[in-house]
Amino acid sequence: MRSKKKFTICPNCENKLTPVDHFCSQCGQQNHDLKIPFWHLVEEGIESFFHIDRKALVTLKLLILSPGELSKEFNEGRRVKFIPPIRLYVLISFLFFFLLNFSIPHSFSNEGKNSSLSISFKGLHTSELVALSKKQTDSLATIKKIPPTEFNKFWIDQLYKIANSSKTEFFHSLFKNISYMMFVLMPGFAFILHLFFRNKNSFYVESLIVSVHFHSFVFLLISVFLLVGLTKTIFAFLLTPILVPAYLFFVLRRYYYQKVFASIWKTTAIGVLHFILFASLFISTVFISIYLV
């Protein structure tokens, strides 16, 4: 990249600077003079854009084609040419939830406001509560002999709200809560990895980087399915359970230097634990979403 115009004296703390100083050694401010011709500013912007673009290409290439290699490079300190893990996850998850919010809830857009989600509680179904008044809902609960406890009243009230709102509203709320859930799932998956490979003299944070990259790949994979419309076909349900474990298998092979047999049984064990963790968190997230309706 072209050399940026530098200060000889730091404008913030008046410390002396040299042309090789990118930052002030005294206060840490970037040594970059913005008082330059407009064309030079545009040129710097273009150069910075393509520099970031190259980073993205290199990062995505390793993430997709070399499972575990990106985590290995990052944890071994070779980080400058890659997008940081959390920033990568945020970018990919933003794309994923944008596509998810755009595609799935919109499939219900033609069903009308009273097309409610199908949920039941102690024999009381949301389909029975559509267009009823709150008083009629309470009467129906009495007919079904549901004890009028505070707990039951609360959940019946939540069902009533869901029954008389659209699926789209509920799904938007659910997707938002799932995005929060991932910040529990990723550290949880990292803990599972750390338990299996704690004898590798690795720190938990290294497993966390592996977890972030793994979930970034999963979100990217499903995003591609959403973009090409595969989620509406049987292929997504067949490919995902094959591609995700296969990716984890190669992560264990490349990052943790596991032999084939060890990679197979550890992929199975870790995959089962990851599924249990995901299912538990997902069910909890659904209940929380219903609770917050």
Domain ranges of the chain: 57-108+167-291, 120-163
> Tokens in use for 264?
């197979």
Instruction: Answer whether 0.85 is exceeded by the pTM.
Output: no
Q: Which helix (H) or strand (E) holds 84?
A: none
Most confidently modeled range among 97-101, 159-163, 218-222: 218-222
If one compares 118 and 197, the residue with the highest pLDDT of the two is 197
pLDDT, the chain, mean: 82
Model confidence band, residue 250 (pLDDT cutoffs 50, 70, 90): very high
3-state secondary structure of 270: helix
Q: What are phi and psi of 30, to 5 degrees?
A: -65, 135
Residue 2 has pLDDT above 50, yes or no: no
pLDDT of residue 30: 82
Please compute, for residue 248, the number of CA atoms within 13 A of its CA located in the half-sphere on the CB side. 27
Q: What are phi and psi of 124, to 5 degrees?
A: -95, 120
User: What CA–CA distance (Å, rounded) separates 139 from 48?
Assistant: 66
pLDDT of residue 43: 57
If one compares 266 and 35, the residue with the highest pLDDT of the two is 266
Average of pLDDT values for 211-236?
83
